[in-house]
Chains A and B, each alone.
Chain A
Amino acid sequence: MTDTPKFTQSRRQFLAGAAVATGAAATGKLVHAQAASPDPAITELQPWQQYLGPGVDNAPYGVPSPHEAHVIRRNVEWLTADTVSSINFTPLHELEGIITPNGLCFERHHSGVADIPWADHRLMINGLVDTPMVFTMDDLMRFPRENRTYFLECAANTGMEWRGAQLNGVQFTHGMIHNVVYTGVPLRLLLEEAGVQTNGTWLLAEGADASGMTRSIPMEKALDDCLVATHMNGERLRAEQGYPVRLVVPGWEGNMWVKWLRRIEVGDMPWHHREETSKYTDLLADGQARRFTWEMDAKSVITNPSPQAPITHGPGPTVLTGVAWSGRGTIPRVDVTLDGGINWHRARMSGPSLDKSMHRFYFEFEWDGRPLLLQSRAHDSTGYVQPTKDQLRAVRGVNSIYHNNGIQTWAINEGGQAENVEVG
């Protein structure tokens, strides 16, 4: 290396840097490993160097490399009575950045995946409107569209962990979430087309599947930022995500993002339907229950290392990374600790910081091979700081099922293996 770096450093800075590097090498800090014998991955001719691969017509719609076949959604059999009204989990420990690939976005259905042809779907708006309306999908594609990136988190994400550490993997403890770019029509424009009457203060969103999923949504939110979305990450919605159209309710619990959206009724009070009375209400220790807990509080989790992604490289430079999000804004800051919360460090945020979207953070450190207790703590743009599980339990008890945004701890042992634990 003889050339002076051209743009980023002056020659003096470069020489100073070189001097530091030389000094470090002299003290043994920068000794790189030496192979004992030549690496056959280099010295032997590999098949892909010699033979032809598949042509461009091999995969009209591509799929991941077969070497990534383990990167899949998983379900937990004992959680639900069957797999039709059930949940699966996004493999967060295998993902980077902030965008969830469409095929890995977790699924939550109440009567399975509805199979609806684009041409057969209708969206009705009725109730307290001047003109009850029916739209075809082609009608919807003629309204002005917007592109927005939002997280969708199931209200029950991390719900199995209220009483203690239970599932041993970030996919299972935190994987009821995905983050994609939605393309859709502002719900406000469709409501304006029907003409909401002055006493129209609530709306009921209803799905076309056999569960007839319904949720009551205040008109203020509907007119603010809700989208009627037809696309995710550039392509039309996956069937399991509501093809041909779903509601996008930014920052609010996933249950309200009604899939296969077929009807919006405008009314003057909430409907108190099954999914906002029996379900998605939060029982507190005194037997009272919160209703309409819509926003998802600020939350984060370390995705690597984690139980499904142990440290396999031994001591030395180690990359810690994770994701953070808030239903109330952006995530300007995440703190991480290696010692169970005794000392904290500011993590490095990387990538877009978008409202009500997932954020990516990193913390690079030298692992000395000793056991670690890893935690991350999100701060959102309102000043809210992600609480510990114990702080949440002090307010809510352990039976509220939903909205568990408590700080997650991973214990790393000397071998680099990680486990879901709680600390005190």
Chain B
Amino acid sequence: SRDGGFGLGRAALPEEIAAWDIDIRPDGQGLPVGSGDVYTGEELYIDYCSACHGDFGEAVGRWPVLAGGYGTLDGDDPHKTIGSYWPYLSTVWDYVHRAMPYGAAQSLSDDEVYAITAYLLYLNDMVDDDFELSNENFLEVPLRNEDAFFMDDRATTELTVFSGEPCMENCAESVSITANAMVLNVTPETAVEAV
């Protein structure tokens, strides 16, 4: 570091910050003024989203599932969707606005993002079909799984457990193979041979 800095770069203009600073936080910071309802969102969703994500958020092929899966997280086959897994609605708004539709990011207006977000809430059985989402009521819609996340606890649950001098000799009486990748045979074929 150098006292007073290096004097490099220049001050950002308000218009420049406004153009790039589009992020939204769980407390609503960054949300623009606007609104959109479920019906409007459904039309937009069918036009811009359903080809990949399915008419009801069930997804086509391997594209992400957006709805359903409630109560599956502690099961053998968890379905992680906005409704079942995501903690904050702000993330939905932020991500749809910044990165969707895939291949045409940042093409949706603020009101369109509110409407699509409202429709995604409806697909996840969280609002009625006449619901309208706006910057005014945005924080009144908590998602189901908000409280299921906790800060990385490996320092207390793993690091000490996995430390210390391990066994070096005669650590087991016998060892046998319990799973084989060859049985699955899902690995791509060997690359082209050396010339």
Q: Which residues of A contact B (CB under 8 A)?
A: 66-70, 72, 74-78, 80-81, 85, 110-111, 124-127, 131-136, 139, 142-143, 164-169, 172, 188-189, 192-193, 195, 204, 206, 210-212, 214, 262-263, 265, 267, 269, 271-274, 277-278, 281, 283, 285-295, 297, 307-308, 335, 339-344, 373, 377, 382-387, 391, 395, 399, 411, 419-424
B119 adjacent to chain A (CB < 8 Å): no
Whether the pair A419, B180 counts as a contact (CB closer than 8 A) is yes
Whether the pair B192, A269 counts as a contact (CB closer than 8 A) is no
Interface size, chain B (Cβ < 8 Å)? 83
Can you show 26 pairs from A to B with CB atoms below 8 A apart? A68-B194, A76-B187, A124-B17, A126-B21, A132-B12, A136-B9, A193-B9, A211-B99, A212-B22, A212-B98, A269-B27, A271-B94, A272-B88, A278-B85, A278-B91, A287-B78, A287-B148, A289-B149, A295-B154, A339-B175, A342-B170, A342-B174, A343-B169, A399-B78, A420-B181, A424-B178
- Taking the closest CB of chain A, its distance from the CB of B136, in whole angstroms, is 21
Contacts of B26 in A (CB 8 A): 271-272
**Interface residues in B83-124 (C-beta closer than 8 Å to A):** 85-88, 90-91, 94-95, 98-99, 102-103, 105-106
Whether the pair A212, B162 counts as a contact (CB closer than 8 A) is no
- A165-B180, A212-B99, A274-B95 given; 18 more Cβ-contact pairs under 8 Å: A78-B186, A111-B103, A142-B6, A165-B184, A166-B181, A273-B95, A285-B74, A288-B150, A289-B85, A291-B151, A342-B171, A383-B164, A384-B159, A384-B163, A385-B162, A419-B182, A420-B181, A424-B178
Contacts of A168 in B (CB 8 A): 181-182, 187
- Taking the closest CB of chain A, its distance from the CB of B62, in whole angstroms, is 4
**The 6 nearest A-B residue pairs measured at CB:** A287-B74, A340-B175, A420-B181, A287-B73, A212-B98, A81-B62
Residue of B nearest to A71 (CB): B191
Whether the pair B23, A214 counts as a contact (CB closer than 8 A) is yes
Whether the pair B188, A85 counts as a contact (CB closer than 8 A) is no
Whether the pair B80, A342 counts as a contact (CB closer than 8 A) is no
Whether the pair A74, B9 counts as a contact (CB closer than 8 A) is no
A278 to B87, CA, bound (A): 8
- Taking the closest CB of chain A, its distance from the CB of B179, in whole angstroms, is 4
Interface of B is mostly: loop
B137 adjacent to chain A (CB < 8 Å): no
